[in-house]
Structure 1
Amino acid sequence: MVQVSRRPGVTGSALILLLARLTDHGAPEPKQAFAERLSQWLRWTDAISLSSALNSPPATAPSRALASASAEERECARVRTALTKAITEGTAFSVDDFAPYRQRYIARQQAMEAGIGPLRGRLRAVLAGRSPAMARLASVDAVMEQALDPQEQRLLATVPAVLEKYFKRLKQAHSGAQGQMPDGPDAPDAPDNAGKPVSSPGQVQPAAWLEAFGKDMQGVLLAELDIRFQPVEGLLEALRMK
């Protein structure tokens, strides 16, 4: 029977740890047993499909040339690199309104779905041509995707709302700090003769909180990319097996 290494699920991921920090709720609650969490996500019709995929006789591998694992690895690397580049380039905006950030986050989520979904299907097709055991693994993955993907999408769709609350807290904290800045002789120094502002030690520049938020949002997106790519990495690991 084909086995692949188990990877941490959503509840044990960097994404949850990041969101716990940004929402100021501390560490996440202890994880439920995997089987218990899975049973809450699977409908009885999904369970029947999964059982059929596990217990049905393995399909006969098609008589065609086997695809190269290295070719699939290159394609996976290409897709992931492109998605990572889209996330890390131009995250910050110069406005203190969350709307552009929400639009950007949702656009990146849609790009992940558009890039990773077909890649996962492609890997299943290659596995199905490798051996009967690999074909069974591909069938199980297809059932799991159909059953669990809607639940995952609903959870990930709530991330922008979490980020918006964090954005508003940072904005409010910045506004409060600006309101407490001293006037008169204790105010920050005026620009020097070179036209460059002279800041006192520890003084926070107006755009610093926006820059910090942009970096945090980027980290959350990268953590979400890790989660979405886990099934692809599992299939790719199976493909590497001889």
Structure 2
Amino acid sequence: MYRSQPDAPRQDLAERLGQWLNVHDAIALHAAHQPLPPALPAQAPRRAATQPRAADLLAALHRLRATLRQGIAAPPALPVEPQDSAFAPHHQRCLDQQRRMETAIEPLRAHVRQTLAAASPRLARLAALDATLERLLGGREQRLLSGVPAFLKARFEQLRQTRPDDWPEPFEQELQQALVAELDLRLQPVTGLIEALAQANASP
């Protein structure tokens, strides 16, 4: 698969995050991250009631991932031939898959946050922090992911030049790999929330 030139040395995560946020964003993030008072003993039994929910949410996550991956793996509507030179159908296919991911993942993430908010004060704080981060960073994430089609177009042109007789198959593989990587990225926050719920349920 095509690889770009090595990146410059990575900045510290906090430093890079600071470049993405303005003063108002930083205040909102700080407010969402304020420590909570220790949970009262009377709240402890609520955790047992949420134990089945972690497994349910994980199953829903697996179903969603499988459905979206099936869509990514579906062949293009029209067969791609070596003589085809138009990138437009691949561009549209990529945009369609990105919209499917966004439309499907957002409701699940919101539902998982609601479940955490009702489980315990500590998990409620995590849910609030996730909501704040999504609001602050979601726009930047979308702008970055909007560059995926441009990357694929460059790869499309490169393969057509270097492998003019058999480029469709490797390009299809790389298109799917790029979309699966994007899917995994988009699912990371909701996966982390579910794992946090499962760990809280498993704690004595």
TM-score, normalised with respect to structure 2: 0.84
Who is 1:82 aligned against? 67
Who is 2:133 aligned against? 144
1:51 to 30, 46, 49: 30
CA distance in 1, matches of 2:72, 2:101: 10
1:31 partner SS: coil
Q: Which runs of 5+ in 2 are unaligned?
A: none
2:167 to 200, 209, 228: 209
Q: Which runs of 5+ in 1 are unaligned?
A: 1-20, 176-205
Is 1:39 aligned with 2:18?
yes
Question: Residues 64 and 104 of structure 2 are in contact (CA less than 8 Å); yes or no, is this contact kept in structure 1?
Answer: yes
Q: 1:84-103 counterparts in 2 under 5 A?
A: 84-91=69-76, 93-94=80-81, 95-103=84-92
CA distance in 2, matches of 1:147, 1:43: 10
Is 1:27 aligned with 2:6?
yes
Question: Residues 36 and 122 of structure 2 are in contact (CA less than 8 Å); yes or no, is this contact kept in structure 1?
Answer: no
Bigger Rg, structure 1 or 2: 1
Q: Which amino acid aligns with 1:219?
A: Q
Is 1:233 aligned with 2:191?
yes
Q: 1:27 deviation in Å?
A: 3.0
2:147 to 150, 158, 168: 158
2:167 partner SS: helix
TM-score, normalised with respect to structure 1: 0.72
CA distance in 2, matches of 1:93, 1:236: 40
CA distance in 1, matches of 2:118, 2:20: 30
Is 1:126 aligned with 2:111?
no
Question: Residues 159 and 167 of structure 2 are in contact (CA less than 8 Å); yes or no, is this contact kept in structure 1?
Answer: yes
Bigger mean CA offset, 163-172 vs 130-139: 163-172
Q: Deviation per CA, 1:126-159, whole angstroms, max 9, x where unpaired?
A: 0011110000010000000000110010001011
1:110 to 95, 99, 113: 99
Q: Deviation per CA, 1:70-97, whole angstroms, max 9, x where unpaired?
A: 1111111111110011011215633331
Who is 1:188 aligned against? none
Q: Which amino acid aligns with 1:72?
A: L
Q: Which amino acid aligns with 1:125?
A: Q
Q: 1:49 deviation in Å?
A: 1.0
Q: Identity, % of aligned pairs?
A: 41
Bigger mean CA offset, 164-173 vs 122-131: 164-173
Q: 1:167 deviation in Å?
A: 0.8
CA distance in 1, matches of 2:8, 2:194: 32
Who is 2:178 aligned against? 220
Is 1:69 aligned with 2:27?
no
More helix by share: 2
Question: Residues 96 and 210 of structure 1 are in contact (CA less than 8 Å); yes or no, is this contact kept in structure 2?
Answer: no
Question: Residues 54 and 136 of structure 1 are in contact (CA less than 8 Å); yes or no, is this contact kept in structure 2?
Answer: yes
2:119 partner SS: coil
CA distance in 2, matches of 1:217, 1:28: 22
1:129 partner SS: helix
Q: Which amino acid aligns with 1:161?
A: A
